[in-house]
Structures are given as C-alpha cells and as structure tokens.
C-alpha cells in the first residue's frame, strides 16, 4: 500500500515519509529534488559601469551564485518540455545592480539588485557582493534564466536532499531549500519531473 505522510515542515525544510515505494523510486526523487527542479539563476551579465578593483568576471560569478526566488508555474510548467535557450522567451528575467556612488567605503549587497519581476528576486537582501572604496561604482544588467542543478550547481533547488530508512519500514526524505522555492513545492515538482522521465522511458521501450 502506497502512502505519503508529512512528518515535519518549516519555511526552509520538509520531511516526508514514503511507505510502499521501492528504493529506486525514492532515491530518484531525492536526486531530482536536489538538482532536477527548475529555478532561476543569473546566467549572463552586461557591464554598464565598473570602476571598482574587481574584474567584471569576478562580479558576474558572484552574482550568478545568488539564489533567486522562483514562482511555481508562472514562467513555465515543471514538466520535461522545458526549453530555456531562447533569449526572448518568458523564462528570462532582468535584474539591475546599481551600487550608487558615495564618498565612503560601501558594502554592496543583494539589496542593491532590483528585478523587473518582484517575484524573482534574491532570497536575502544581506548577501554580500563586493566592498567598494570611496567614489567607486558598479552598474550591471543581469539576465536570470530557468535551469536545473544538473546543468550547474547555481540552479540547485535544495541545499540538502537526504533519504533514510528501508523499504520494509518506509523511507524518510528530508529536503532543505536554498530559498528559491518552497520545500513542499520542490517535492511536488520533483514528483512531476520523475513522472515525466518515467513516461519518456516507457515511450522509448514500447
């Protein structure tokens, strides 16, 4: 008898118990929850102005690793038909980093990142990007795209995805979000993703 029960839940993590599922299915779901659920991350950066001591590439790398909130279903379904390569598609959101210029040393954080979509934004305003000397300034246009952690870790939807237990006693799956998506949403999207992959496999062998 198959059953799923939520045994612990918070804003950042969720633990479910799965009874009756084979270990292959449970472990596949664990992997997908970690790096198979689409999330937003900054992919390309256009440098408008950079008078800091930091190279453009360094700042672009820092920005790419900032986790961004990803609204479920707004830009794309969580199914396998995702095509995210088109620059003009609705899976791209622009954010602008503008440090401003002051006569004091300034810590630039993700609070300086403004998004054209308020639902796609840094998960925290206090993530440091760079420290600027007096009168230094940086302005960058950042293009965030949907992707999966299997392509690059910056798209990981979860910090941890851990499976414990046995088939006889049931498996416990704990998922801790990066903040990009709600923990329960990650599991639901992971189940849809796994179902889609199994359907593709079935079509291949039929």
Do 19 and 112 sit in the same domain of this protein?
no
Do 143 and 117 sit in the same domain of this protein?
yes
Tell which of 115, 130, 148 closes a domain. Answer: 148
Do 115 and 196 sit in the same domain of this protein?
no
The confidence score (pLDDT) of residue 78 equals 45
- Listed residue (50, 55, 72, 56) closest to 183, CA to CA: 72
Do 44 and 131 sit in the same domain of this protein?
yes
Tell which of 100, 118, 148 closes a domain. Answer: 148
The confidence score (pLDDT) of residue 82 equals 43
Do 45 and 31 sit in the same domain of this protein?
no
Per-residue model confidence as pLDDT tens for the chain (206 residues)? 899 999 999 999 999 999 999 999 999 999 999 999 999 999 999 999 999 999 999 999 999 999 999 998 888 644 444 444 433 345 899 999 999 999 999 999 999 999 999 999 999 999 999 999 999 999 999 999 999 999 999 999 999 999 999 989 999 999 999 999 999 999 999 999 999 888 888 889 87
Do 129 and 44 sit in the same domain of this protein?
yes
Do 46 and 122 sit in the same domain of this protein?
yes
Do 7 and 58 sit in the same domain of this protein?
no
Do 7 and 81 sit in the same domain of this protein?
no
Number of structural domains in the chain: 2
Q: What CATH number does residue 49 fall under?
A: 2.170.120.12
Do 186 and 110 sit in the same domain of this protein?
no
Do 121 and 72 sit in the same domain of this protein?
yes
Do 62 and 143 sit in the same domain of this protein?
yes
Q: What CATH number does residue 178 fall under?
A: 3.30.1360.10
The confidence score (pLDDT) of residue 206 equals 79
Domain that holds residue 142: 39-148
């Amino acid at each position: 008898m198959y059953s799923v029960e939520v045994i612990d839940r918070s804003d950042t993590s969720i633990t479910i118990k799965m009874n009756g599922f084979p270990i292959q299915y449970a472990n596949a779901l664990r992997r997908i929850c970690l790096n198979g659920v689409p999330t937003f991350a900054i992919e390309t950066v256009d440098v408008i102005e950079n008078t800091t001591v930091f190279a453009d590439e360094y700042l672009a790398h820092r920005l790419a690793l900032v986790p961004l909130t990803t609204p479920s279903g707004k830009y794309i379904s969580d199914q396998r038909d995702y095509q995210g390569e088109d620059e003009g598609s609705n899976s791209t959101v622009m954010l602008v980093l503008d440090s401003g210029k002051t006569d004091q040393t300034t810590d630039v954080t993700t609070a300086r990142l403004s998004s054209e979509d308020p639902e796609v934004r840094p998960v925290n305003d206090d993530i440091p990007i760079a420290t600027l000397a007096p009168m230094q300034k940086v302005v960058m246009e950042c293009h965030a795209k949907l992707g999966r952690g299997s392509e690059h870790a910056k798209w990981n939807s979860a910090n941890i995805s851990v499976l414990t237990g046995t088939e006889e006693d049931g498996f416990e799956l704990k998922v801790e979000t990066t903040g990009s998506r709600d923990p329960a949403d990650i599991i639901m999207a992971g189940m849809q993703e796994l179902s889609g992959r199994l359907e593709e496999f079935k079509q291949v062998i039929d």
